[in-house]
Amino acid sequence: MKQEYRLISSAPKPFVKWAGGKRQLLPVITNYIPQKFERYFEPFLGGGAVFFNLVSQGRDSKWFVSDLNSDLVLAYMTIRDRVKELVSSLELHSTNYTKNPSSYYYKVRESSPKVQIEKVSRLVFLNKTCFNGLYRVNSKGKFNVPLGKYANPNIVNKENLLAVSQTLQSKDISIKCQDFESALKNATSGDFVYLDPPYHPVSETANFTSYTEGNFGYQDQQRLYSKFKTLDRKGVKILLSNSKSDEIIDLFNEFSDGIVEINANRFINSVSQKRTGHTELLIKNY
Ligand SMILES: C[S@@+](CC[C@H](N)C(=O)[O-])C[C@H]1O[C@@H](n2cnc3c(N)ncnc32)[C@H](O)[C@@H]1O
């Protein structure tokens, strides 16, 4: 009897750790995702925790994902189209890093490759080895995070890169680099939109809005609110994550029935039995 072999790849997961990443909040967020939708829009994609979770559930949908960060979007496209070359380039980074982590890290940090594969492998490499694993650029658009304290960083997660690549090759998925307003132009009744913008800061010091070279300020939150309203009128289902700040609560006052407070505990301190973390908001119109 002929034996059949099926290629089973693991479910795709974010290939970079991203500021504001939603991986830990997935169990909560997925409770609020509608059972059915025609098309899915996620215009603040980041690491794509929510998108990867939904797309690997085998839902019958079309997926429109985007982000304004062009380096990040280039990484998605490169993984989709040229994953083997990317893996080879990352393997080289991994070998060199093992020989002398600190000097190699800072050498790569100072470099500014122009070739696509090298640009993307630099981004992934720095993301895996930098302090806190967060992509952050300074006002001049330079990556300025120091070396992290990882004993054995997983620089080449080949299995996941292949799973992401395979997933993104679907003709039902569109990935673009664009502002959220253009991304949502065609969303209409029956569609579902998940919005995870840079959060409005809760205090002066908690400003995590420098993902791109331009900040996402209060005017952008207002622009987002106005898009939320337009989509609501069209019959689109919308779920928005944001900080629990007075400005956001005021701005979305009209949708106050759909505001849910969620606990974003980062970890539980087992010694003091105290929870560390904060409350944030999910705002929905359904
Ligand atoms: C909170 S992060 C999204 C995190 C993501 N949900 C995850 O799980 O990793 C916000 C994202 O919005 C992007 N962004 C900032 N301004 C934008 C704009 N005007 N239009 C679209 N995307 C924007 C940033 O590049 C960043 O990736």
CATH code reported for the domain at 76-159: 1.10.1020.10
Decide: 67 in ligand 1 pocket, CB within 6 A.
yes
CA 97 – CA 84 distance, rounded (Å)? 20
268 forms beta bridges with 275
Contacts of 171 (CB under 8 A, 6+ apart): none
Decide: 49 in ligand 1 pocket, CB within 6 A.
yes
Decide: 216 in ligand 1 pocket, CB within 6 A.
yes
Cβ–Cβ < 8 Å for 131, 146? yes
Residue found by looking up tokens 């409350």 in the block? 279
Ligand 1 centroid to 218 CA: how many Å?
15
> What tokens does 52 get?
């990867």
Decide: 15 in ligand 1 pocket, CB within 6 A.
no
Query: Residue 143 — very low, low, confident or very high, per pLDDT cuts 50/70/90?
Result: confident
For residue 4, the model assigns a pLDDT of 41
Ligand 1 centroid to 66 CA: how many Å?
9
* pLDDT, greater one: 140 or 73: 73
Decide: 43 in ligand 1 pocket, CB within 6 A.
yes
Decide: 133 in ligand 1 pocket, CB within 6 A.
no
For residue 265, the model assigns a pLDDT of 67
Best mutation site among 23, 30, 44, 200 for ligand 1, i.e. most ligand atoms within 8 A of its Cβ?
Answer: 44
Cβ–Cβ < 8 Å for 11, 56? yes
Give the closest residue (by CA) to ligand 1 atom 23: 68
Best mutation site among 211, 224, 282 for ligand 1, i.e. most ligand atoms within 8 A of its Cβ?
Answer: 211
- pLDDT per residue as tens digits for the range 2-57: 444 345 468 999 999 998 899 999 999 999 999 999 999 999 999 999 999 999 99
> What tokens does 146 get?
């120091």
- pLDDT per residue as tens digits for the range 74-96: 999 999 999 999 999 999 999 99
Give the closest residue (by CA) to ligand 1 atom 5: 46
Cβ–Cβ < 8 Å for 126, 143? yes
Sequence spans of domains, the chain: 26-68+178-284, 76-159
Ligand 1 centroid to 197 CA: how many Å?
5
Express as a percent the part of the chain with pLDDT over 90. Answer: 78
pTM summary value: 0.91
Q: What is the architecture of the domain spanning 26-68+178-284?
A: 3-Layer(aba) Sandwich (3.40)
Give the closest residue (by CA) to ligand 1 atom 11: 44
